Structure 1
């Protein structure tokens, strides 16, 4: 009996057994390391605004911010609008000054100069000139500090009918940037109307070719993929190409962006019922979440085309605020805005989301770091989610870094490390708190 206990205590698996398991799981290990690297912790914009490419000029973001504030004054002020869209009196007091400062300082976080649906077919000569001009204006904005943190173009799709035109526009735009001094740090390129993983693989190949031609660092040309066709959600073979996109993109996909109206229209949903919160849209977005979970590829919701102008502006603002909040609650931390007046409810709803959730997040993070008992027992995965929530709030301006450090007991770098899910060696935030 004693010998049996000793044998059990020592264990029976040998080095050969472990080697056999290691060999069997080598493919899994390689997959997890290469395909599921996690988020890199960098800033993600809360929205993408887009304008026809030929209408962009360096002063446009400031014009959008001023137009938004003027629209709020026309309905009684930003405080009144905040109350209209459902903010409590306490939140109005807390959020409105932050939103006003945001609209004065950084009204647009991400701007896309559109050469696709918002631009149309104007002939090759005109689009060539506009592509070159867009690059020049972006460089001018960057040099004068008038550019949003993220800026770039949406070019035409890789479908046969628009492929050559789209790639030429991309080529001219990138070449113009490089010739003027290099790619902006927040460059964003959007590939629309993807239907197959092969199109994404082709785009990755084009990106590599552009890097090689311009002597750019490998991986510096990355792109977003717009999910706006049924075929990329469910393919002809009965499988979802969404799950193939991360590997097809060879590490170059930054995010998947949902296209509300192209997608719902393609399903035959009547125009009156096409919306971000249609059940068919929700299904597609849930599959997008599943397809890129753990890959580091981010998600963006689409837009609402109900604009807050005219006699029904309040109703449109209420709708937009509700949809922004709904997206945030479902894990889509970015969306598309089509009009300056939508900036008001983009930031009111976003800031309210973070301000409301922050007190409990801070309390739970402090309890986790200090290993103290609290009302909720959080595991490491939940602690990462709490930290990422707080980091996002700081990045967009809803939360203040100094307050976060004081109230969570976590230094800024340690908070990012805790939020960062990549399996890399980092300081334990419990050992590097403020």
Structure 2
């Protein structure tokens, strides 16, 4: 060293090592493993054995009866194969808005049926349930439904691995509600002798207070911190949020400026925390005559592409006929970007000039793009020119 005393470095270490540790805790990086491209919400009273096959068959029927999709014909066989093989990547059995308010006997029975259904295995990579909110009079019902669901699931057979079953918590506004959910998860794990941390949940962002608090500070980061490591995702609720912001019903959309603002705040808060993001839904369903179906597909296709371009790799689907455009749109996005991503990553790894000076963070983003394409079935390893191990190591 020059004239600087070694004591200065020791002083800096003393000051900054706790900061380093806190940053590592808060920002562990991108989560490892597959993220589903969508979450399918199905009201609890419409769930039952054969659900996944029925959705796949209905999606294929729509594709057959109302061609063409608003995508290149070259994607047709790939989409058909996906609909036959795995039409639903993530299923959420809905006890909230899609289910409504029922008498206790009916919801008790539905909660137990949902537990048995998921315990028997549905053939979907990810699954879970959306309970009612923890606000006011709904709190008792939310807790009871989750308790009965777990009781039935626990008795149905082998439990799914941690992270493969997720509870969706709606109508969250303040960190205290998330802290209460953490407490509930801890008590349920103890009651059912589940591994600590096995229960995880998603936070639905459906209220303006979940974006900006009364103090003017952004809320999503505080919600993630309050979850104590149990929050797996932030999901945007298109229509509740838009309505609360005073947007006219005809203008409510996940592409509206109020939605873009909310999702931008969510995105910054979740970055590098290990918490994933999901866009909301569209209520324009592709049903009816061919013209109406194709109008619904065009709307859905545009929103799928828009979300992907903005870093929202997951969204909600509410009807089987939305599955063709979900998968076609996702495949088109990754296939359109494949060649450039492969060329840039090869140049970076080979230390060659490509006309673009990529940095390590961008190289990781390029590898992550290709990994997502592999995970969803848009790409094969042969098409990327890299194996998974190489991409994961970038």
Task: Check whether TM > 0.5.
Answer: yes
Q: Hey, what does 1:358 align to over in structure 2?
A: 338
Runs of 4+ in 1 over 6 A off after TM superposition: none
1:30-56, CA deviations, whole angstroms, 9 ceiling, x for partnerless residues? 221111001232110000011111211
Matched residue of 2:202: which SS?
Answer: strand
Which of 371, 376, 379 lines up with 2:356 in the alignment? 376
User: How do 1:308-347 and structure 2 match up within 5 A?
Assistant: 308-311=286-289, 312-347=292-327
Query: How much is the aligned-residue C-alpha RMSD, in angstroms?
Result: 1.3
**CA distance, structure 2, for counterparts of residue 11 and residue 212 of structure 1:** 58
Rg larger in 1 or in 2? Answer: 1
Equivalence for 1:92 = 73
The corresponding residue for 2:277 is: 299
1:45-124 equivalences in 2 (<5 Å): 45-76=36-67, 80-81=68-69, 85=70, 87=71, 91-93=72-74, 95-124=75-104
2:216 matches 1:235:
no
Q: 1:6 aligns to what?
A: none
Distance 2:4 2:203 in 1: 47
- The alignment partner of 1:291 has SS state of helix
Inter-partner Cα distance in structure 2 for 1:222 and 1:356: 34
Contact 1:174/1:183 (<8 A) preserved = no
What TM-score do you get using the length of structure 1 for normalisation?
Answer: 0.88
Does 2:391 correspond to 1:415? yes
Aligned 8 A contact 1:197 1:248 in 2: yes
CA distance in 2, matches of 1:307, 1:32: 43
Give the SS at the match of 2:171.
Answer: coil
C-alpha distance after superposition, 1:141-190 (max 9, x if no partner): x1xxx421111100000111211110111111122212223432321210
CA distance in 2, matches of 1:174, 1:376: 52
Contact 1:36/1:296, CA 8 A, preserved across alignment: yes
CA contact (8 A) 2:96 2:131 kept: yes
Please give the secondary structure, in 2, of the residue aligned with 1:216: coil
> TM-score normalised to the size of structure 2?
0.96
| Residues 172/13 of structure 1: CA separation in 2 closer, same or farther (3 Å cut) | farther
Pairing 1:399–2:379 present: yes
Deviations 1:188-237, CA, capped at 9 Å, x for gaps: 21000001011111111211221122222221111100000011111122
Q: Size of the alignment, in residue pairs?
A: 390
